[in-house]
């Protein structure tokens, strides 16, 4: 298995509170991604990073921010959580180059009450 | 907006049969195509990738790509109950850095 961990693995929080999810990789992969997965929607890209301090938005970035200060860590922050952000969040990494596969972390199940 | 479509299923096949999973995509510039398997409560894992038109075989799995029709398929021969999972089709952009996923097809292989 690729060395990708996510923390926390489960979190229950209340509407309006800030939440930070952490992704940590030991593969020295250049690219890192945050996806959310909801029934009927598959995986949708929230934000991605193509290097330290280099990030860009995905298709569902509203209400989320990210930071990458080190190659191995990619943080996803919900500034003020809403019930619509209840989901399973997956982090993924990619070494780079055409056709390389993405490796996924174990996921974080977030519930916003 | 780039889209990837799959039948949500469930697709049910008897053990030993061939399961056929289909995927269409909207972006003609797409260059790489992936099939992931996801068991319930687990993260996706790569089964196969394909870049060129035609067939690519790996064990019991065959990926088929037709860029003119913007169509990708996955065939699973001699289906086993352990193949029961959701199969995600993913399409990569020109640079192989960003990917759009379909909603997944749930496959159930009946003993």
Please say if the pLDDT value at position A97 is more than 70: no
- Say which residue the tokens 């959701």 belong to: B86
pLDDT at B16: 97
CB spacing of B101 vs A31 below 8 angstroms: no
Q: Residue B97 and residue A43: Cβ atoms within 8 Å? A: no
Q: Do B97 and A101 touch (CB under 8 A)?
A: no
Distance linking the first and last C-alpha atoms of chain B: 40
Taking CA–CA distances from A56, the nearest residue in chain B reads B98
Q: Residue A40: its pLDDT value, please?
A: 79
The share of chain B scoring above pLDDT 70, in percent, equals 99
Q: Which residue has the higher pLDDT, B106 or A2?
A: B106
Of B37, B40, B97, which to mutate for an interface test with A (greatest number of A Cβ within 10 Å)? B97
B12-21 per-position pLDDT tens digit: 999 999 999 9
Residue A2: predicted pLDDT: 61
Q: Per-residue confidence at A99, pLDDT binned at 50, 70, 90?
A: low
Q: Contact B74/B13 with Cβ under 8 angstroms?
A: no
Tens of pLDDT, residues B93-110: 877 778 999 999 999 999
CA distance to partner chain A, nearest, from residue B109 (Å) = 21
CB contacts, 8 Å: B45 with chain A: 104
> Among candidates A77, A24, A70, which has minimal Cα distance to A51?
A70
pLDDT tens for B30-58 read 889 999 999 999 999 999 999 999 999 99
Closest chain B residue to the Cα of A1, Cα to Cα: B45
* DSSP-derived secondary structure letter, A113: -
Q: CB–CB of A43 and B46 under 8 A?
A: no
Indicate the pairing of strand B11-14 with strand B105-110.
parallel
In the three-class reduction of DSSP (H, G, I as helix; E, B as strand; rest coil), residue A51 is classed as strand
- CA angle, corner B99, sides to B24 and B43, nearest 5? 100
Omega within 30 of 0 (cis) for the link into B10 = yes
Report whether B2 contacts B100 (CB < 8 A).
Answer: yes
Confidence of residue A1 (pLDDT cuts 50, 70, 90): low
Contacts of A42 in chain B (CB under 8 A): 4, 88, 101-104
A4 closest CA partner among B23, B31, B44, B52: B44
Asked if the Cβ–Cβ distance from A99 to B96 is below 8 Å, we say yes
A98 touches B: beta carbon within 8 Å: yes
């Amino acid at each position: 298995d690729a060395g990708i961990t996510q923390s926390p693995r489960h979190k229950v929080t209340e509407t309006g509170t800030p939440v930070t999810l952490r992704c940590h990789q030991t593969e020295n992969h250049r690219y890192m991604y945050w996806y959310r997965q909801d029934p009927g929607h598959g995986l949708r890209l929230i934000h991605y990073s193509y290097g330290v301090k280099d990030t860009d938005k995905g298709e569902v970035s509203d209400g989320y921010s990210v930071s990458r200060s080190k190659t191995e860590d990619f943080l996803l922050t919900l500034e003020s959580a809403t019930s619509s952000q209840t989901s399973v969040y997956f982090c993924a990494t990619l070494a780079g180059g055409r056709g390389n596969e993405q490796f996924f972390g174990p996921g974080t199940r977030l519930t916003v009450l | 907006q780039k889209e990837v479509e799959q039948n949500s299923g469930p697709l049910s096949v008897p053990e030993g049969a061939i399961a056929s999973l289909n995927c269409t995509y909207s972006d003609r510039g797409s260059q790489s195509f992936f099939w992931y398997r996801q068991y319930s409560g687990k993260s996706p894992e790569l089964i196969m990738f394909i870049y060129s038109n035609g067939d690519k075989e790996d064990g019991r799995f065959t990926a088929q790509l037709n860029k003119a029709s913007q169509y990708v398929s996955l065939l699973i021969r001699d289906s086993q109950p352990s193949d029961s999972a959701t199969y995600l089709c993913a399409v990569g952009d020109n640079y192989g850095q960003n990917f759009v996923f379909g909603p997944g097809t749930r496959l159930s292989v009946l003993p």
